Amino acid sequence: MDSKKLYFLVGLTGGIFLSFLGQKMLQRRDNKNKQSQKQNHSQEEEEELLKEQLVRNIQFFGEAQNKIANSHIMVIGVGGVGSHVVSAISRSGVKKITIIDFDRVTLSSLNRHAIATRKDVGKSKVEIFTDFIAQLNKTIKLTTIEAYITPENIDTLFQGGKPDYVIDCVDNIDAKISLITHCVKNQIKIIVCCGAGMKCDPTRIQIRDISESQNDDLARAIRMRLKKFDIRTGFNVVYSTEVNDKQLLPLQEHQKGDPDKYRVMPNYRLRIVPVFGCMPALFAQALSAYVLCDIAGCPPITLCQNDIKMPYFIQQMQLLAQQAKKNNVELQIDIEDLVVIYKAYNGFCLVKDKKTRPLEFIQFDKLQDITPNNIILLSSEEAKKHKEGKMIYSQIILERKLNYEQIIQKNLGKRIFI
């Protein structure tokens, strides 16, 4: 073959190869563009789906839903209570969630767990949430940490950044104290779940500052342990005022000889708590509702059940009606308004500026209609002076009254969670 034919064949082969290569490169570019368009389209579809999925929340919170979406919530303990908390906050649009638990799913925990089934028995409690969250909302960034909280490792658990809220669903007192002290010290908002076990009355569930909790053994233990850290107030707890005859189950015969041998962790409770499966879910919903509303900037006004004594408020309404009739003015108030006013004063007498019982609702200006801003709370002694016209209100007291009025106006009309 002469050189001209050889050059021709080489050129032809090279041209075919380059043409083929060019077509492949164009196809690859087109595929990438299609894939990118498909991905963008998929993201747009996901955003639209998410808007529809969260439409009820958006209708409820309005623009504040963005605060919920951009918040970071850490849930410690994802058993009976914590699993329902994770479900609730993820269904409400929280996009950054950290969950921490050291334990594994047991068969006996299925009566109260939010997502675990028999196929999950033996698996890590935090592990089973990965698929659940992915199927529920792909935009959620879920961080799972399999660990038991101790004073030694508490700092490392927060290395992922300071959360907007911590929801404590741990059932061990040592872990709770470590968590609470860390959050208070670092000014991290925390709400603590107390004992949901051995309870069955949903109407007794309360949300209250730790200093005001009552009739709950775990809350009492927390208060006692926190005293040595000089922490007496500053965070809410969810607890129940229910008192019943339920008790911890006794140790089994093989455990009595050496109980420590059978503990999951040192100092961890060994005796079993009887748990009615509905109650942990109710505690969890109370925790979640309060946290989400607080993040959105509209925390509910929480009232202790023992504060709500209807005969007392009915009596005070009757007395105010008598004052209105005597002074020929209108009574423009109802019992719900009285509850808001009572909560605003928090048991304090306007004049004495200290907690006093009983407190009387008194018409401040006898010439004006009885409205929320024309009512003050006084002790019986001070109320008598006011009625007799012997009370002189200093500028300090009037400023105090104005502060109470601002709190009352802010909370009037808000939903009251009882």
CATH of the domain at 373: 3.30.40
Q: For residue 272, count other CB atoms closer than 10 A to its CB.
A: 13
Query: Does residue 54 lie within any of the structural domains?
Result: no
Question: By residue range, what is the domain housing residue 103?
Answer: 63-299
C-alpha distance from residue 313 to each of 319, 340, 355, 413 (Å): 10, 11, 18, 18
How far apart are alpha carbons 27 and 21 in whole angstroms? 10
264 and 320 both lie in a single domain: no
Same domain, 293 and 311: no
Distance between CA atoms of residues 140 and 130, nearest Å: 10
The predicted model gives 142-164 an average pLDDT of 93
Task: Indicate if 217 and 323 belong to the same structural domain.
Answer: no
Same domain (yes/no): 285, 400: no
Q: Give the pLDDT of residue 271.
A: 43
How far apart are the two ends of the chain, measured CA to CA in Å?
101
For the ranges 218-222, 301-305, 311-315, the lowest mean pLDDT is seen at 301-305
Mean pLDDT of 35-54: 75
Domain co-membership, 95 together with 173: yes
Determine, yes or no, domain membership for 56: no
pLDDT at 30: 65
For position 273, which CATH number holds? 3.40.50.720
pLDDT of 34 above 50? yes
Question: What's the token pair of residue 40?
Answer: 């963008």
- Judge if 156 and 275 occupy the same domain: yes
Q: Residue 196: which region, alpha, beta or left (left: phi > 0; alpha: psi -120 to 50)?
A: alpha
Check whether residue 397 and residue 283 sit in a common domain.
no
More confident of the two residues 38 and 381: 381
Tell me what percent of the residues of the chain surpass a pLDDT of 90: 59
Q: Decide which of 77 and 340 is more confident.
A: 77
For residue 14, tell me if it sits in a domain: no
299, 322, 354 — which closes off a domain?
A: 299
Which of 282, 299, 316 is the endpoint of a domain? 299
Q: Is residue 388 situated within a structural domain?
A: yes
Which of 299, 316, 349 represents a domain boundary (last residue)? 299
137 belongs to a structural domain: yes
pLDDT tens digits along 130-147: 999 999 999 999 999 999
Q: 266 or 418: whose pLDDT is higher?
A: 266
* pLDDT above 60: residue 416: no
The answer on 257 and 337 residing in a single domain is: no
Q: What's the pLDDT at 113?
A: 95
Please give the average per-residue pLDDT across 214-240, as a whole number. 91
- Of 316, 306, 396, the closest CA to residue 363 belongs to 316
Amino acid at site 282: L
Give residue 272's pLDDT: 63
In this model, does residue 412 exceed pLDDT 90? no
408, two tokens? 């009352």
Cα 324 off chain centre by? 42
159 and 261 together in one domain:
yes
**Helix pair angle (335-345, 310-327), 10° resolution:** 100
Q: Average pLDDT in the 203-228 region?
A: 89
pLDDT at 185: 95
State the pTM of this model: 0.65
203 and 333, same structural domain? no
Neighbours of 226 (CB within 10 A): 21
The pLDDT mean for the chain works out to 85
| 170 and 78 housed in the same domain | yes
Mean pLDDT of 268-282: 75
Q: Are residues 111 and 142 in the same domain?
A: yes
Q: What is the pLDDT of residues 50-60, one digit of tens each?
A: 999 999 999 99
Q: Which of 54-63, 110-119, 296-305 has the lowest mean pLDDT?
A: 296-305
Based on the structure, what is the number of domains in the chain?
2
